[in-house]
Structure 1
Amino acid sequence: MKKIISLLLFVVMATFNSCSVSLNGASIPAEMKTVTINYFENNAPLVVPYLAQQFTEALKTRIRNQTRLSVVQNDGHGVFEGRVTGYEVRPVTYTDNRATTGNGTNRLSITIAVKYTNNINPKLSFEESFMRFKDFPLSGASFQSLEPNLIKDINLMLTEDIFNRAFASQW
């Protein structure tokens, strides 16, 4: 009986002494303690002055809120860098203004190129682009009045995609 209990205790200890810590679906190696998030410059053909800063801060906030990692200025165990490569507003559907009061549906799309370097396990590093969009009707409101909330919503989607690509299901 002692052998069975010892074996079960060993299995339980081995299970909890794994190489990663999982928070909110994230799988972060135990030895990873810090992350550096460099400023994401805006290189899109259409530049919104505050977009790059808001995206960079949104990524920092997501990592602070969903992990135990510390965000540091330099030499993080993980490093995020990149740029805004696309910002586009275009119509998706049209309506005949004589028949309705609406102007159809429009779409705001934002594309971010990301390079993630995992200094703990370089095999988990990646470099790829992420694109998200949100459709919206103008219906009386100006785009300038809708734009800040649209950007905020898209940034949330983009940071979730990037976070999941870097930290979810790695181990």
Structure 2
Amino acid sequence: MRLIVFSALLGSLVILSGCGVYSFTGASISPTVKTISIQTFFNNATLGPSNMSVLFTESIKDYYQQNTSLSLVDDNGDLQIDGYIADYTITPVSATASGTDDQADFASMSRITITVFASYINTQDDEFDFERKFSFFKDFDNSQDISSEEQVLVEEIFDQIILDIFNASVANW
């Protein structure tokens, strides 16, 4: 009996993986789509770490390679993604009273917000093409040194933006 159940389960997995349309990452990519090209996302933001362009571009390439079976090509992929880092801001989000008349009140929490503009072209089906902005933020405690935490916060923000771009492009969410 176990052998029959195991065989049925294994057969189902083989059938699902052979379809080429469904994957366990949620991507629904046509079987005719084989390649993706991701151009450098330049940094057009006035603030932020100097390595944001390289960090974002390499992270998005890695994400698509790890979560799809698409081959990464330099130009003219079946799917094409490009864009730029549009904005990087740090804003106060939580005020704290100083407790004395001699000192000004201050922000105890601040927020880093990053906005990325992305353009997506599906050469097989232009119904899914888009050009839009993706934005995400992380809050941090001002008692911490921002220079020591900034890289980690930027990476976490980029992870979410990349997931949003992935979902909008190949997961069609």
Alignment TM class, shorter chain as reference: 0.7 to 0.9
Structure 1 residues 20-169: aligned runs within 5 Å: 20-98=21-99, 103-139=107-143, 141-169=144-172
- Match of 2:170, as an amino acid? F
Does the CA-based 8 Å contact 2:116-2:135 persist in structure 1? Answer: yes
Does the CA-based 8 Å contact 1:34-1:70 persist in structure 2? Answer: yes
Deviation track 1:21-63 (CA, whole Å, cap 9, x = no partner) reads: 3331111111111100000011112253101110111111110
SS at 1:49 equivalent: coil
CA distance in 2, matches of 1:164, 1:151: 20
- Match of 1:90, as an amino acid? T
CA-CA distance at 1:103 after TM superposition: 5.0
Gaps of 5+ in 2: 1-11, 101-105
Identity %: 32
CA-CA distance at 1:98 after TM superposition: 4.0
Gaps of 5+ in 1: 1-11
CA distance in 2, matches of 1:42, 1:126: 20
- Match of 1:69, as an amino acid? L
CA distance in 2, matches of 1:19, 1:152: 31
CA distance in 1, matches of 2:36, 2:171: 15
- Match of 2:113, as an amino acid? S
TM-score when normalising by structure 2: 0.81
CA distance in 1, matches of 2:65, 2:98: 47
CA distance in 1, matches of 2:98, 2:157: 28
TM-score when normalising by structure 1: 0.82
CA-CA distance at 1:97 after TM superposition: 3.7
Does the CA-based 8 Å contact 1:23-1:67 persist in structure 2? Answer: no
Indicate the RMSD between aligned Cα atoms, in angstroms. 2.1
